[in-house]
Amino acid sequence: MIARDSHFLFEQESGEVTTLARSCWIASAFSERSPNKITPNEDAVAIIPFDEETAVFAIADGCGGMRGGEVAASLALRCLADSVALCRDNPQQLRTAILDGIELANHTVQDLKIGAACTIAVAEFHQGWIRTYHVGDSTILLATNRGRVRYQSICHSPVGFAVEAGFLEPNQAMHHEDRHLVSNVVGDPRMRIEMGPRIEMGVKDTLVIASDGLFDNLKVDEVVERMRKGRLAGSLHSLISDARIRMRTDSDEPSKPDDLSVVCVRRV
Domain boundaries along the sequence of the chain: 2-267
Poorest-confidence range of 107-121, 217-231, 237-251? 237-251
SS3 264: strand
Residue 63 has pLDDT above 80, yes or no: yes
Q: What is the DSSP string of 207-219?
A: EEEE-HHHHTTS-
Q: Given pLDDT bands bounded at 50, 70 and 90, which one contains residue 181?
A: low
Provide the pLDDT for residue 109.
98
The 10s digit of each residue's pLDDT in 191-228 is 999 999 999 999 999 999 999 889 888 999 999 999 99
Q: What is the DSSP letter of 76?
A: H
Among 49, 21, 229, 208, CA closest to 125: 49
Poorest-confidence range of 87-96, 101-110, 139-148, 150-159? 150-159
Residue 30 has pLDDT above 60, yes or no: yes
Across the range 60-70, mean pLDDT stands at: 87
Q: Using CA atoms, how far apart are residues 94 and 55, in angstroms rounded to an integer? A: 9
Provide the pLDDT for residue 2.
35
Better-predicted residue by pLDDT, 75 or 9: 75
Q: Using CA atoms, how far apart are residues 119 and 192, in angstroms rounded to an integer? A: 11
- The amino acid at 169: E
Among 106, 114, 169, 166, CA closest to 136: 106
Question: CB neighbours (10 Å) of residue 114?
Answer: 14
Question: CB neighbours (10 Å) of residue 5?
Answer: 6
Residue 92 has pLDDT above 60, yes or no: yes
Poorest-confidence range of 49-53, 61-65, 209-213? 61-65
Alpha-helical (H) ranges within 112-157 are none
Among 25, 47, 51, 176, CA closest to 122: 47
What does the mean pLDDT of the chain come to?
87
Provide the pLDDT for residue 16.
87
CA distances to 90, 91, 113, 190, 203 from 45, rounded to whole Å, are 24, 21, 24, 24, 24
Better-predicted residue by pLDDT, 66 or 236: 236
Q: Phi and psi of 242, rounded to 5°?
A: -65, -40
**Edge-to-edge order in the sheet of strand 18-21:** 2-3, 18-21, 25-32, 260-267, 206-210, 139-143, 149-152
Residue 58 has pLDDT above 90, yes or no: yes
Among 150, 152, 155, 124, CA closest to 138: 155
Please classify residue 1 by burial: count the beta carbons closer than 10 Å to its beta carbon, then call 0-12 exposed, 13-18 middle and 19+ buried: exposed
Domain 2-267, CATH: 3.60.40.10
Q: Is the whole-model pTM more than 0.85?
A: yes
Provide the pLDDT for residue 258.
80
The 10s digit of each residue's pLDDT in 157-180 is 766 555 556 655 666 555 545 566
Across the range 44-50, mean pLDDT stands at: 92
What percentage of residues in the chain have a pLDDT greater than 90? 66
Residue 77 C-alpha from the chain's centroid? 11
Q: Do residues 68 and 62 make contact, with C-beta atoms less than 8 angstroms apart?
A: yes
Q: End-to-end alpha-carbon separation of the chain, Å?
A: 18
Residue 107 has pLDDT above 70, yes or no: yes
The pairing of strands 118-126 and 199-200 is unpaired
SS3 2: strand
Residue 10 has pLDDT above 80, yes or no: no
Poorest-confidence range of 142-146, 216-220, 234-238? 216-220
Residue 14 has pLDDT above 70, yes or no: no
Residue 267 has pLDDT above 60, yes or no: yes
- Specify the DSSP element, H or E, that contains 226: helix 220-227
